[in-house]
């Protein structure tokens, strides 16, 4: 691997030792450096890992970064670690996860109105898998729980933040929203957003 600068080596040591996501501001405090300087060193370190075809990588998770193994080596890892079989997401789970990802925070009742079926079990499984968490309570009668996606969701699907989720074609999105509203009788309030996006283009 190409020689690391002292700062890059320090970042590598921190990320390796913690093994979890680390906020950029925490790195700034630990290194006594400005955010721009830390980010510059992070990008240089990431490039060195990628250029040397290493088995580990540094990924962005919103305002955090984490050192982790590359997904292409999963099969080799489980042979050593004897990890249980990789979790499999059913079509219902993927559908529910997509709804939560794009509408978060969202309640089970709202999810069920979109899907048209009970979603208690599916949401519970997504929470169990660490892809979804209870993000708070809605200020409404009964104080229903609201759900949102986790950092693990970002890691598993290779997304930097929820704002980085791919957007649908605006015409297609409007058509889907209209169809769902007709079926459920529930207004999303997306129309103005879609129209605004079209005007910007």
**What is the three-class DSSP state of 69?**
strand
User: Does one domain contain both 44 and 87?
Assistant: no
**Residue 111 domain-assigned (yes or no):** yes
User: Does one domain contain both 102 and 156?
Assistant: yes
Q: Which range is least confidently modeled, 71-85, 130-144, 155-169, 171-185? A: 171-185
* Domain total of the chain: 3
pLDDT at site 187: 53
pLDDT at site 195: 43
Mean pLDDT of the chain: 80
Determine the structural domain holding residue 196 and report its residue range: 167-201
Task: Please state the rounded mean pLDDT for residues 145-160.
Answer: 86
- List Cβ neighbours of 139 (8 Å cut-off, separation of 6 or more): none
**Residue 75 domain-assigned (yes or no):** no
Return the H-helix or E-strand segment holding 17. Answer: helix 6-18
User: Does one domain contain both 94 and 134?
Assistant: yes
**Token pair in block for residue 151:** 């950092």
Task: Please state the rounded mean pLDDT for residues 74-98.
Answer: 77
Question: Quick check: 87 and 129 in contact, CB under 8 A?
Answer: yes
pLDDT at site 69: 86
More confident residue, 83 or 94: 94
Question: Quick check: 16 and 67 in contact, CB under 8 A?
Answer: yes
User: Does one domain contain both 174 and 161?
Assistant: no
Task: Please state the rounded mean pLDDT for residues 3-18.
Answer: 91
Ramachandran region, residue 137 (left: φ > 0; alpha: ψ -120 to 50; beta: rest): beta
User: Does one domain contain both 58 and 11?
Assistant: yes
Please name which of 101, 105, 97 lies closest in space to residue 161, comparing C-alpha atoms.
101
CATH code: domain of residue 46: 1.10.10.10
Residue at token pair 């079509």: 91
pLDDT of 194 above 60: no
Q: What is the pLDDT of residues 108-150, one digit of tens each?
A: 999 998 888 888 899 999 999 899 999 988 888 888 999 999 9
User: Does one domain contain both 161 and 171?
Assistant: no
pLDDT at site 141: 85
């Amino acid at each position: 691997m190409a020689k690391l600068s002292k700062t890059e080596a320090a970042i590598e040591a921190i990320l390796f030792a913690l093994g979890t996501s680390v906020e950029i501001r925490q790195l700034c405090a630990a290194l006594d450096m400005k955010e721009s300087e830390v980010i510059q060193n992070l990008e240089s370190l990431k490039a060195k890992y990628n250029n040397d075809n290493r088995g580990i990588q540094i990924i962005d998770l919103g305002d955090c970064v984490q050192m982790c193994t590359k997904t292409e080596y999963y099969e080799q890892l489980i042979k050593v670690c004897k990890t249980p079989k990789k979790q499999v997401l059913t079509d219902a789970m993927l559908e529910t996860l997509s709804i939560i990802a794009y509408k978060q925070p969202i309640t089970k009742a709202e999810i069920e109105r979109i899907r048209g079926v009970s979603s208690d079990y599916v949401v519970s499984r997504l929470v169990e898998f660490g892809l979804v968490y209870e993000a708070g309570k809605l200020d409404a009668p009964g104080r229903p729980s609201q759900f949102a996606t986790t950092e693990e969701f970002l890691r598993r699907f290779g997304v930097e933040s929820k704002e980085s989720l791919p957007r649908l074609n605006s015409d297609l999105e409007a058509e889907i929203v209209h169809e769902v509203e007709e079926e459920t009788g529930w207004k999303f309030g997306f129309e103005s957003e879609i129209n605004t996006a079209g005007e910007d283009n």
